[in-house]
Structure 1
Amino acid sequence: MRIESTDHLDHPFADVAAWHRRPGALVRLTPPGLATIDRPAEGGLDVGRRVSVHLGPGMLPTGRPRWTLRHAALAEHDDALRFEDRQVTGPFRLWHHVHELRGDGSGTTVRDTIEAEAPGGGRVADAALADQVRRTLTFRTEQLRDDLDLHARYADAPRLTVAIAGASGLIGTQLAALLETGGHRVRRMVRGREAGEGEISWDPQRGVLDPADLEGVDAVVNLAGRSIATRMTPEAKQEILSSRVSSSELISRTIAGMSDGPRVLVQASAIGYYGAQRPGELLTEGDLGGDDVLAQVCRAWESSTRRAAEAGVRTVHLRTGIVLSDGGGALLPQLPLFLLGLGGRLAPPDAVSSWITLDDMVRSYAHALLTADLAGPVNAVAPHPATARELASTLGRVLHRPAVVPVPAAGPALLLGREGARELVRADQRVSDATLRDSGFEAAYPELEGALRHVLRR
């Protein structure tokens, strides 16, 4: 079967072509739930280059087969670029993808032509594959347009060298790719092995970070920390806290002690700072924090960067909302139930969730890095929070499934413990995005339904 797609971008051909040549382009064009790129730091369009990915359930319903593609041809002119990908090994009977970019006077025309045959063949399988491919091409166009819009807004800002701790996580992988497609240099901070090219080796548990490895680095982003999606045992609470504080204290005191080190530190935090249960309030960065487990973690997490701030390093704490993605976070575990027609709200109907898409989350990190007058705590949430009732009904509408079966409170409590369920699943927090918005940030997905349609390619 043959699938074709043509779109127009209001960006010069030179910018669009440069974006595609840089490392990170494939990561940004691949929905996280669709596939995982094996070597995300690599990039380029060189003929013969092989790209290996592991497919997820978004592309095939069973298993995670490895799929290897090879750049098979390349043609370039003053206002046109054409390159091809062919399957080397993988599940499809046929895969040949031709990408064409052409300057058209008012911007750039992007054309994709794909010849493909599903595993096992047959009309039904091919039709299902064609539907998935068309939805993915729409996602790619939106992603490319939104990223180019962001890069254009900061075209006059200097290109940075950015070290990222936690670069292999859901947010870190996408942030590194976003920065690289904008012409910035990324150095990934790695633990448990020797550093490779473009990497920095460190060990926060042992307090090991060589200041020499941060020479020439303009900014550090710290996303490191154990996942909070776990049962809140005493051991887990301690690990959640220590993994965050040890990493941020090490980075903070290291750069504070450098005479010519990084001048910006963007530190992850979370809206858990305010406490899980704040019904009826509109929470801003000036409000007092809560006293539950995650609030105490966030308070210690933010305080652990004090040495850097006192040394004159511009320090930003991004208080992350509930991140919507098909590749992880709070949304992913709900999808199977909704697809089976058994989905429903997780919290009391009027409990408010302050959410943000994964892509707007990583763009807020880039914005914090490149906005010279932004400092201190900043809520990273979308402009329009949603109640549990609104979240469930909108997700059901997007997936064309009912959303009438509330999840019993005992379910999340069984998995996360009563304390974890209260703070992670049944939270009630209406958080303001005014500081982020007033600093010039423009959310690509401010409304919940549009956000879910982008994230889930519907």
Structure 2
Amino acid sequence: MTTQRSSVLPAPPDEVSAWFARPGAIRRLLPPWLPLKVIEEASSLREGTAVLGLPGGLRWYAQHNPSEYLENRQFVDELQVRGLRAAPTRVAHWRHEHLTEPAGPGHTTVTDRVSSNMPATQIERMLDYRHRQLAADFAAHERASEAGLEPLTIAVTGSHGMVGTALCAFLSTGGHRVIKLVRRAPQSKDERRWDPQAPEHDLLDDCDAVIHLAGTSIFGRFGDSHRQAIEESRIEPTRALAELAARSGVSRFISASAIGIYGASAGAAPVDEQSPPEAGGADFLSGVVKRWEQAAEQGESNMRRVQIRTGVVLSPSGGILAVLRPIFAAGLGGRLGTGKQRLSWIGLDDLIDIYHRALWDTRLSGPVNAVSPHPVSNAEFTSALAKALHRPAIIPVPAAAPKLLLGTQGSKLLAMADQQVIPQKLLDAAHHFRFAKIEQVLAHCLGSPSRED
């Protein structure tokens, strides 16, 4: 059976083909709900092989066919069986034709044609996702180009986390050079070893911008060692990197932050960037985030600095959605406690767009709330999640339950956090959100057949 999807992108065929040829393209287009991860990207569209990992250590090899390659017009990949790890794919058939053709001045029609014996509905969902991603990514890069953004060299910490992986793929496919700052020995020309406590003086040579994402995950039981790891991975490394960036002539320093600065019990009263830190009361995380942002301001220079105060990031690739998805898919989900606590959330791709905007919009400086303009209650969130997965949400979770996993403090700061955060700076800038409503983002990233627009 053959399934086909087409869409028009605002770029000429050579630019569209260049996008597909750059590192990160497959990561931008692989639906996050599929049980696949990228092991190796194809070295070329003409004859390279992409390797995807399946559960149980199995492999999917997508071999590009050189005899069917047409520069700026077509490339074709087919499933290839290699070794015992590919044994379960021996009965599968997969042929994917990628076609590009001019669609008037400065535009290109992109067509995906898949011939396979796999379920047609699954392929349709995959292609729908792929074309939404293509359209939104190209629109974001077009907005940046119109604002005057040219290709940059961008150093990124935390490049292997959920946000960092997606952001690096988005930036590299958009034509920027990404330098990944890693703590191990570099394995490619686009990696540099970074000592968070004492970065080398030449670490940021030739870099135009720094995006600093690194930090120990806050998810966990809030014992002494966990609290210490949260602090030590953020404050001093951020101070040292900001000071180095200021000395190195970097023009933009964009660092991760969190809406935890407002306090976990801010409640239903809206807070925005003009609200004082700890507006909802002081707690451990609000104090850490306040010092984290102060560290990002260290070093004297005219470097523009932006702190991205991130809400709850929604993606099945990680975070809260990775935890809740299997529970709700089994029909065991429901509201937490009363369900009245407010959830200030952001879709992963919208968060990527906000970091991208911070690179080119000179009006953005200081703290920027990276949340949807439409926060929801916990009850509304659980209802939308159940709907996206076509399951009921009728089993409420007692408010005391998260204490078993996270402890009393962790439960209060994470599971039971109650914040209604407004992205006022982005609203003032008329920022475009890909998915402003909770139903939209869940349908997109979970592959729901229907999506509320």
TM over 0.5: yes
Q: Which residue of 281, 284, 298 maps to 1:293?
A: 284
Paired residue for 1:104? 103
- Which position in structure 2 is the counterpart of 1:36? 37
Residue 150 of structure 2, aligned match among 155, 158, 168: 158
Q: Where in structure 2 are the equivalents of 1:73-222 lying within 5 Å?
A: 73=66, 74-76=68-70, 80-89=73-82, 90=86, 91-92=88-89, 93=91, 94-105=93-104, 107-117=107-117, 126-127=118-119, 130-155=120-145, 156-194=148-186, 196-204=188-196, 207-222=197-212
> How do residues 48-447 of structure 1 correspond to structure 2 at under 5 angstroms?
48-55=47-54, 63-73=56-66, 74-76=68-70, 80-89=73-82, 90=86, 91-92=88-89, 93=91, 94-105=93-104, 107-117=107-117, 126-127=118-119, 130-155=120-145, 156-194=148-186, 196-204=188-196, 207-258=197-248, 261-290=249-278, 291-308=282-299, 310-447=300-437
Q: CA deviation at 1:115?
A: 2.9
Identity of aligned residues (%): 37
Q: 2-side partners of 1:354 and 1:16: how far apart?
A: 35
CA distance in 2, matches of 1:208, 1:85: 47
- Report deviation, 1:52: 1.6
Distance 1:288 1:392 in 2: 30
User: Does the CA contact (< 8 Å) of 2:5 and 2:127 recur in 1?
Assistant: no
Alignment partners' CA distance in 2, 1:280 and 1:113: 48
Letter in 2 for 1:262: V
Structure 1 segments (4+ residues) deviating >6 Å: none
Helix, strand or coil at the partner of 1:421? helix
Point out where structure 2 has 5 or more consecutive residues left out of the alignment: 449-453
Asked if 2 retains the 8 angstrom alpha-carbon contact of 1:192 and 1:203, the reply is no
Secondary structure of 2:243's aligned partner: helix
Q: 1:440 to 1:22 in 2, by over 3 A?
A: farther
Quote the Cα distance in structure 2 between the aligned partners of 1:32 and 1:399. 14
Deviation at 1:352, TM superposition (A): 0.8
Change (3 A) 1:367 1:44: farther
The equivalent of 2:20 in structure 1 is: 20
Q: Return the offset for 1:153.
A: 0.5
| Residue 451 (structure 2) aligns with | none
Cα RMSD for the two superposed structures: 1.8
Count of residue correspondences? 433
Structure 1 stretch displaced more, 340-349 or 421-430: 340-349
SS at match of 1:209: coil
Contact 2:32 2:446 in 1 (8 A): no
Is the Cα contact below 8 Å between 1:345 and 1:403 reproduced in 2? yes
**1:311 positional shift:** 2.0
TM-score (norm 2): 0.91
Please, what TM-score do these two structures have when normalized by structure 1?
0.90
Q: Is the contact made by 2:211 and 2:254 (CA closer than 8 Å) also made in structure 1?
A: yes
Task: Name the SS for the 1:236 alignment partner.
Answer: helix
Worse-superposed segment, 64-73 or 402-411:
64-73
- Contact 2:261 2:277 (8 Å CA) reproduced: yes
Note the C-alpha offset of 1:440: 4.2
Once the two structures are superposed, residues 235-279 of structure 1 have per-residue CA deviations (whole angstroms, 9 ceiling, x without a partner) of 100101110112211211212233xx2111000001111011111
CA–CA distance in structure 2, aligned partners of residues 441 and 85 of structure 1? 40
Q: How far did residue 85 of structure 1 move?
A: 3.7
| 435-444 or 323-332, which deviates more | 435-444
Distance 1:360 1:264, change over 3 A: same
**Whole-angstrom distance in 2 between the partners of 1:250 and 1:32:** 35
- DSSP-derived class of the 1:137 partner: helix
8 Å contact from structure 1 (residues 25, 43) kept in 2: no
